[in-house]
Amino acid sequence: MAQAIVDAGGGNLAHTHKGEGGALGKTGFSWAWFEAARNPYYILIVIYVFAPYFARDIVGADILASGKLDGLSPEEARRVAGAEGQAMVANLSKTAGYIAALTAPFLGAAFDRGLRRKPLIFFCLSLISLVGISLWWAIPGPAGLSTGAIMSLLIIAYVCYSYSEVAHNSMLPDAARLDALPAVSGLGLALGNGMATLMFVAIVFMFALPEVLGWPFSAPLFGIDPAQYEQFRIAGPICGVWMLASMIPFFLYARDTGVRGTSPVRAIREGAQGVVRTIRQAAHHREAFKFLIARTIYADGMFALLTIGAVYVSLFLGWGLIELTIYAIWASAWGVAGGIFGGWLDQRLGPKNALIVEIAAIVLILFLGLSVTRDSAFFGLVPNVKVWDAPFFSGSSDLIYLFQGALIAIFATANISSSRSMLIHVAPAHMRGEFFGLFAIAGTVTVWLGPLLIEQFTRWSGDQRIGMSAIALLFFLGLAVLLTVKSDPPARRAA
């Protein structure tokens, strides 16, 4: 069952195993369950709950309190503070991306050379959990952690998240039989979004709604004090404790093809040499490398869209915790459908055509979202009117943005699933392990580019919409490169 592979320089690569079973098999489901344990941190902290709180109530509030904007009208001061908060979060993501780009590229090939994934994953998840718990002390003003300390913690967690993603994605080829891998990939994303949805529901019903409506409880549970922003800060400990408690099935049953006793230093050194050799031989694997380039570019746009999108809507449309949490629940629920939809679309159209459809749809949906303001939608063509008498989402602009959020969740989640499937179609069969490592690396090497564009365009224009629109350039360029890729069915490529 196992086949030893030797690289061009004579180094022994790790044994690669042919996956067995389907998406609900022991190894396939445990691989997918990993995303149920880890992804809620990304969805709650990096995207929907903590990042908007950090941008608005820590960074933005500090700027307003400093007196720097005293000469401006309240609306103008709010807009400038919001733009600065968005730029700060983009800068944080950019810095973390730089670190990941300089360190993560050697991990994938090191895993192919015997380095075990699970010890690194355990270390990374444990550190992310500790960071999440520490965010409870992210309080505005001098009573809590400083802005610099919060940024440092978030950067550490993000880099660890990137490392765990490199290791986890490189385990996909061994998680199930070849034809079941799209379903396994989609199932993982569905489970991750589903678990995040349950957490959002719990936060809304236990903390947010009791404070605003006195329902379903007369006051927030467990003594949570909204005046101290505890309804935001509690998201970190929830994700941290959940990650520690739920990672067990993955470590018990997921297949790690690494070899016990492998020297990490040697594996990383030989892996780096192997990556350099493979890149130098790119002409022999032209289609695979063209796809990796395309994926690197559009993944940057996707990363920026997901990580900065909630910050944008929080500051630009003025949504608070309840609106953001309901939006997050809504989007995460549709993300579950997106994971299933991605696997279905792969099988119907093939992964390349599925990716073309998904990227084109994301660009259209992005501009639909950017057309929405507090006053109108579709770039002023449809005025914002009150649709019904409700405390939340009563205006037409709110409802239109909710609609685009559902579409983004479906197509963005499907895109992640289709991208994994596409690599199986373009990578040489005997090098899939290394190319899955390069695939994971492709999501980190220039991940700073999208946030950098947003940061620079936002600071240059002083306008959040112009800042967010910059990432469309990445989707267009990534799609242009993808159109040149020729893909074969896995069976033919393996022959």
Q: Which tokens belong to 129?
A: 């959990």
Q: How far apart are CA 491 and CA 280, in angstroms?
A: 26
Three-state SS at 29: helix
Task: Specify which residues 129 forms β-bridges with.
Answer: none
Q: What is the pLDDT of residue 492?
A: 46
Q: How far apart are CA 148 and CA 123, in angstroms?
A: 24
Q: Which residues of the chain have pLDDT under 50?
A: 1-17, 491-495
On average, the pLDDT of the chain sits at 82
Q: Which of 337, 340, 342, 367 is nearest to 354 (CA)?
A: 342
Using an 8 Å Cβ cutoff, are 257 and 174 in contact? Answer: yes
Q: Residue length, the chain?
A: 495
C-alpha torsion angle, residues 260, 264, 267, 272 (rounded to 10):
150
Q: What pTM was estimated for this model as a whole? A: 0.75
Using alpha carbons, list the distances in angstroms from residue 432 to 26, 284, 375, 426. Answer: 22, 14, 51, 9
CB atoms within 10 A of CB 245: 10
Q: How far apart are CA 285 and CA 288, in angstroms?
A: 6
